Amino acid sequence: MKNISIKVLSLLLAMVLISSCKNYDELVKNPNLPTAVPPNLLLHGVLNTMNNDPWSDAHIFNQFFNSTYTYYGTNNYDQDPFFNTTSGFYYRTLENVVRMEQEAKNSGAADVNPYSALGKFFRAYFYNEMTQKYGDIPVTEALQGQDNIRPKYDSQKAVMMEILRLLDEANTDLASLITAGNTTLAGDIYLGNDLRAWRKVVNTFTLRVLVSLSKKDTDTDLNVKSKFAAILGNATQYPILTGNGDNLKYVYNAQFNNYPKTPGTIGFDIHRQNVGATFLNLTTALKDPRTFISSTPAPAQLTAGKTVDDFAAYVGASNGDDMGTLGANAQGGVYSYVNPRYYFDYAGSKAEPSLIIGYPELCFNVAEGINRGWAAGSAATWYTNGINASMEFFGLADGVTLTITDKSYTVLGSVTVDVTTYLAQPSVAYAGDNAAGLQQILEQKYIAFWQNSGWQAFYNYRRTGVPTFLTGSGTGNAGKIPTRWQYPIGEAAANPVNYKAAVQEQFNGTDDLNGKLWINQ
């Protein structure tokens, strides 16, 4: 009887506790919290994540500029968080993509809707960014929430195949939505909620992915050549960007999002950074007017008697030099500084916007594919179009007069741009569908990437070796340029079995900066 009483009391106590917990849960619910998030708000956040600002660390390691004083940081690849274990995956962003798709459906949208179509593109975009950095990543078992918190890694080949599948489906879905007149979209900060414009971006990005697979162009599963030719051969089925007006770009303004360099930072930035020799060695050798946009003349060269229109007056600092050498030379006026007249502006109105996916790159990607024999067409035309598009993007055309200043805005003189003469030079005129022509395409693509398109300049260098990146004690990593990023440091703790398996499969068990990715073998 005693035991029965204890059991009854225990049961009653449990029921009271359950009831109390339930009542407590009801009490602590915040009635002001939304039960749903509009998909356009989630879209806005995803779009912001796509942008990689000009003058970020990415552009130091693209060797467009560098730090010349140890106090402000070094140029060492192996000491930078982007490469060395502390950078992150994009799965949090992709979780927001999933939520965006769910909220669109919850609001009554059909299975195929503008948010679901763009969701496929965003998956492809961020998967590509991750696999380009790390190699194998979770895809098949990713984004399953609490159902699978330790997903297996997919091989890089499988990841690339999934990316291409998603992009093809995104293009098809967008086409069906446009045909049906179902173009309702909100929250688009880039393209004015225009699905036609997004469809061009999707196919242009697909060409970027295909070109990144140039070392795998004989793989019969990827079918790089046939996919590339199909896009170029059918503008109706695969529309692509047709000019700078179609660019996917991030625009700055003085009220809400300042340009990364402002008049308020000039005293800090102008003295600690110099333009990179990898970039200026190339532009000055080609007598390229983009030299005058990027840089001031080196003070020592002006003292020696050179004029502002003399390309020899513009001297870059090598990312491979040690900080002592860089600091002493910078103080001695040996190097060119960042052009303050053009780039230090709250609104970014004097500088170009931040390109994410742009027409100049598209032109060079098409030229490269044709040069490699992947499709019919004129590589020379696309190559020239790419140069002209880049010049236009930077505000350069025949007859444009550029005012040249020093780092303190003191006017030193002016230069008149002549793009026609530039294109006619033997060093610039397309050399043909051969190795020399390919070298020109890749060099011009690098110049066009100046302060835009995130890590694309680095990825292209890693894939092709063009242009030659400068190395030495200043780059760290035993004087070598890394070939990949280490996985985020939390992966070894959060997903140890699958992390170790991926590292073992790819890099013989060592999560090494110098490991070679499958796409580049």
Question: What structural domains and CATH numbers belong to the chain?
Answer: 39-53+85-240+484-521 (1.25.40.390), 242-454 (1.25.40.390)
- CA nearest to 475, candidates 323, 342, 369, 366: 323
pLDDT at 148: 87
Tell which residue, 401, 396, 392, has the closest CA to residue 308: 401
Instruction: Please report the pLDDT score of residue 30 as a whole number.
Output: 56
Number of residues that make up the chain: 521
Which two three-digit tokens encode residue 434? Answer: 């051969």
Record the tokens describing residue 343, joined without a space.
Answer: 């780039």
Angle at Cα 59 formed by Cα 159 and Cα 213, nearest 5°? 25
Beta-strand (E) ranges in 36-182?
A: 65-67
Burial (CB < 10 A; 0-12, 13-18, 19+), residue 505, is middle
How far apart CA 129 and CA 59 sit, in angstroms, is 16
pLDDT value of residue 14: 42
Structure confidence at residue 205 (pLDDT): 98
How many CB atoms lie under 10 A from the CB of residue 461? 21
Chain centre distance of CA 402:
29
Residue 169, CA distances (Å) to 123, 137, 165, 205 in order: 12, 21, 6, 13
Residue 159's contacts (CB-CB under 8 Å, 6 or more residues apart) are 127, 131, 136, 137, 139
Q: What is the dihedral of CA 190, 191, 194, 197, to 10 degrees?
A: -120
d(CA 484, CA 503): 12
β-bridge pairing 401-405 and 273-275: unpaired
Single-letter code of the amino acid located at 511: D
| Predicted pLDDT of residue 85 | 65
Report whether 513 contacts 83 (CB < 8 A).
Answer: yes
Ordered mean pLDDT values, 10 residues apiece, the chain (521 residues): 41 42 46 72 96 93 91 80 75 96 96 98 98 97 91 98 98 98 93 98 98 98 98 98 98 91 81 93 98 97 98 97 93 95 87 96 98 98 98 98 94 98 98 98 98 97 98 94 93 94 97 96 96
User: Which tokens sit at 456?
Assistant: 């694309």
Neighbours of 501 (CB within 10 A): 15
Helix-, strand-, coil-residue percentages of the chain, each rounded to 5: 50, 5, 40
Nearest to 208 by CA among 391, 368, 323, 419: 368
**Residue 175, beta-bridge partner list:** none
Contact 224, 231 (CB under 8 A): no
pLDDT, position 69: 82
What is the rounded CA–CA span in Å between residue 238 and residue 242?
12
Tokens for 412? 């030193």
Of 175, 222, 208, 176, the C-alpha closest to 360 is 208
Express each pLDDT in 345-374 by its tens digit. 888 888 999 999 999 999 999 999 999 999
